[in-house]
Chain A
Amino acid sequence: DAGVIQSPRHEVTEMGQEVTLRCKPISGHDYLFWYRQTMMRGLELLIYFNNNVPIDDSGMPEDRFSAKMPNASFSTLKIQPSEPRDSAVYFCASSPGRWTATTYEQYFGPGTRLTVT
């Protein structure tokens, strides 16, 4: 299995621009998670989906952030407009569905390092 795939690996953009991060979960996984990692706040969950439906978006910082999962193999995290404080590493992770031996394990992608200047 290819694992969780994220693109791009690095993104540099100017303040005010729209940024779209992409994620392809592991095939067959029912759960998809978006995390953000910063020095100040560590790793924090932004939002997660179950069977393409958003379950908990309480970690999304503000209305500038939005996430979608149009199908089981693709998700996007969009920031519009971007600000310098959004600079961070954004991780996507996926997890098997219920009733599997490893349903509680999350597998992470390589992350996208976002820099907003």
Chain B
Amino acid sequence: AQTVTQSQPEMSVQEAETVTLSCTYDTSESDYYLFWYKQPPSRQMILVIRQEAYKQQNATENRFSVNFQKAAKSFSLKISDSQLGDAAMYFCAYRTSGGSNYKLTFGKGTLLTVNP
């Protein structure tokens, strides 16, 4: 079974600075999808960024980018120019691309605090 590990329960960053959240996963599959979700205090789960395993290029969405290291099974999220609104719990998630299994497996999350 696939597992997702977020080793940093909490992180903090100064406003306008850059922060990197770590995620590692364990799988025997070669093709899959990886995601970062943001959960602010409102508890709404918001998709931040996605990465297809077959793509070598790292995904980027505005101030959010990932460092995808397939061989190392690592998928970190970099937030540049951090804003107060970035404060939230961040979850890394994995989904297989094969068959009909659409299940998302989540890490335990990293709580990000942004200091003004």
**A residues apposed to B, CB below 8 Å:** 31, 33, 35, 42-45, 48, 50, 55-56, 89, 91, 93, 95, 104-108, 110-111, 113
Contact = CB atoms under 8 A, between A and B. Distances in A.
Contacts of A91: 45
Nearest to B50: A105
Binding site of A, secondary structure by majority: helix, strand, loop or mixed? strand
Interface of B: 33, 35, 37, 42-47, 50, 91, 95, 97, 100-104, 106-109
B95 A50 contact: no
Contacts, number: 49
Given A104-B33, A104-B50, A104-B97, A33 B45 contact: no
A105 B47 contact: yes
Contact of A111 (B35, B43, B47): B43
A56 B101 CA distance: 8
